[in-house]
Amino acid sequence: MPTIEEALYIKLEASDPTIAGALHNMLCEIHFTHLINTLQLTKPEVLVIGCTTYSNEIKDRIIEAKKHNYGAVYVCASQYTEGNKHEALISGARDFFSYPVSKLILQRALEDYLTSRAVDPSKAHRSKVIAVMGARGGSGTTSVAVNLAACFAKEGKQVGLLDFSRPYGDVATFLNTPCKRDRRHAAKEIELMNASYMKSAMYHHSSGILALVAPEVTLGTGSVVPETVSAMIIAAADAFRTVVIDMGSRVDAGLYRVMEMADDSLLITMPTKPCMGSAKRFVQTITAGGFENFCKLSLVLNGCISGNTLSKFEMEKTIGVDCITCLPDDQKGTFIAINDGTPYCHLFPDSPLTNSLQELAVLLHQHECPDDYEEE
């Protein structure tokens, strides 16, 4: 993570005196922040909104702030629903905190913003963050994520594999790993989150992959919420040259945060009409939710066979996303690998599917979106 060398000018808006005082004190204690009052001429870059109960007025304020070119808006509320949080993030808030919030979580969120604004993509030692997601279960999302991570590890790259699939994830099964520590335990101690702590919470697989697995039992989204997602991705990016994230097939605030922070997002689908329809609806949903940078999103067709009546061109045209590769079908080998708890590309190193996965890994490390990319 780059060193924070410049001040971040912040405006605080909170009608409740208790919340206002607590947030004011925390922001004043963060060494790189400067609070702006109404008498100062310096324009604030970040808006922090504190409230007792989330309301439509807060949503309207978020939208207004984004129109006035605030770089980021953060909301901290003591009474709200998951629907309120989702609405705030869709409206343009960068993060949503439950009050009371710790100073360290607030500081990490602001560091996340300042770092993302300051990062120079041309830097030689820049981590690559790749998110893998599916429009429906059974598309092969976890299989692709695990084997991509294995391909990167085989090339000698330091690889972290994060299982953010909700409500349950299968990375632990695919790698035959114990679940003594998982992402839920890491999220409970988010204040300790850094590169070393992240590695200590991960399982070291013989393939060279370090995996943060999903909990065996969870409720709802569990630890896959924006504030914890940001901290874990930043820590993983500090710890590894390459980070692969298995997102599963759920569209929520956690997914939007991962797609925002990832260098590349892969939408996994199979070349069938039901899967094509699900992928189309997935793209429509994230577009309605505010995702715009389609340079970062690529389609991966999984389970491709010769003679299929659905062509790659038809899939691209219907879904509205460019296809980066077609992975050949090997259902038998895939099932053997899953049941054995070993990456497919290790069991079948010379197969056409392994060759395609290795080519995909090379393509992803070469791919860069231009800084001035704008959706046409």
Provide the CATH number for the domain around residue 82: 3.40.50.2300
- 87 and 26 share a domain? yes
- 132 and 102 share a domain? no
Average pLDDT score over residue span 33-62: 84
* Listed range (150-154, 167-171, 330-334) with the worst mean pLDDT: 167-171
Indicate whether 148 belongs to any domain: yes
pLDDT in tens, 59-109: 999 998 888 778 889 999 999 998 898 888 888 888 899 999 999 889 988
In which band, very low, low, confident or very high, does the pLDDT at 192 lie, cut at 50, 70 and 90?
confident
User: Mean pLDDT, the chain, as a whole number?
Assistant: 86
- 304 and 158 share a domain? yes
| Per-residue pLDDT at 117 | 67
- Residue 211 to residue 223: CA distance in whole angstroms: 16
pLDDT cut 70: percent of the chain above it: 89
Indicate whether 375 belongs to any domain: no
Average pLDDT score over residue span 27-35: 91
- 133 and 114 share a domain? no
- Residue 106 to residue 224: CA distance in whole angstroms: 17
What string of H, E and C letters represents the secondary structure of the chain? CCCCCCCEEEEEEECCHHHHHHHHHHHHHCCCEEECCCCCCCCCCEEEEEEEECCHHHHHHHHHHHHCCCCEEEEEEEECCHHHHHHHHHHCCCEEEECCCCHHHHHHHHHHHHHHHHCCCCCCCCCEEEEEEECCCCCCHHHHHHHHHHHHHHCCCCEEEEECCCCCCCHHHHCCCCCCCCHHHHHHCHHHCCHHHHHHCCEECCCCEEEECCCCCCCCCCCCCHHHHHHHHHHHHHHCCEEEEEEECCCCHHHHHHHHHCCEEEEEECCCHHHHHHHHHHHHHHHHCCCCCHHHEEEEEEEECCCCCCCHHHHHHHHCCCEEEEEECCHHHHHHHHHHCCCHHHHCCCCHHHHHHHHHHHHHHHCCCCCCCCCC
Indicate whether 373 belongs to any domain: no
Higher pLDDT, 67 or 27: 27
Higher pLDDT, 112 or 76: 76
Is it the case that residue 298 has pLDDT exceeding 80? yes
- 159 and 232 share a domain? yes
* Listed range (26-30, 59-63, 350-354, 365-369) with the worst mean pLDDT: 365-369
Average pLDDT score over residue span 127-151: 94
- 153 and 72 share a domain? no
| Number of domains composing the chain | 2
CA nearest to 114, candidates 266, 9, 190: 9
- 113 and 140 share a domain? no
| Per-residue pLDDT at 215 | 84
B/e letters for 209-232, b = 16+ CB within 10 Å, e = fewer, are bbbbbbbeebeebbbbbbbbbbbb
CA nearest to 243, candidates 145, 352, 341, 342: 145
Q: Which of 118, 151, 166 is the last residue of a domain?
A: 118
Q: Please give the radius of gyration of the chain, using alpha carbons only, rounded to the nearest integer.
A: 21
* Listed range (77-81, 123-127, 312-316) with the worst mean pLDDT: 123-127
Indicate whether 376 belongs to any domain: no
pLDDT in tens, 257-280: 999 999 999 999 999 999 999 999
CA nearest to 368, candidates 295, 298, 299, 300: 295
pLDDT in tens, 204-252: 898 889 999 988 766 544 567 788 888 889 889 988 999 999 999 988 8
Is it the case that residue 305 has pLDDT exceeding 70? yes
Provide the CATH number for the domain around residue 164: 3.40.50.300
- 58 and 135 share a domain? no
Burial class, 236, CB count within 10 angstroms (exposed 0-12 / middle 13-18 / buried 19+): buried
Indicate whether 374 belongs to any domain: no
| Per-residue pLDDT at 121 | 44
Indicate whether 346 belongs to any domain: yes
| Per-residue pLDDT at 368 | 61
Is it the case that residue 254 has pLDDT exceeding 80? yes
- 205 and 251 share a domain? yes
pTM over 0.85: no
Range of the domain at 80: 8-118
Is it the case that residue 373 has pLDDT exceeding 80? no
Task: Give Dmax over CA atoms of the chain in angstroms.
Answer: 70
pLDDT in tens, 317-347: 999 999 999 999 999 999 999 999 999 999 9
| Per-residue pLDDT at 177 | 86
- 248 and 142 share a domain? yes
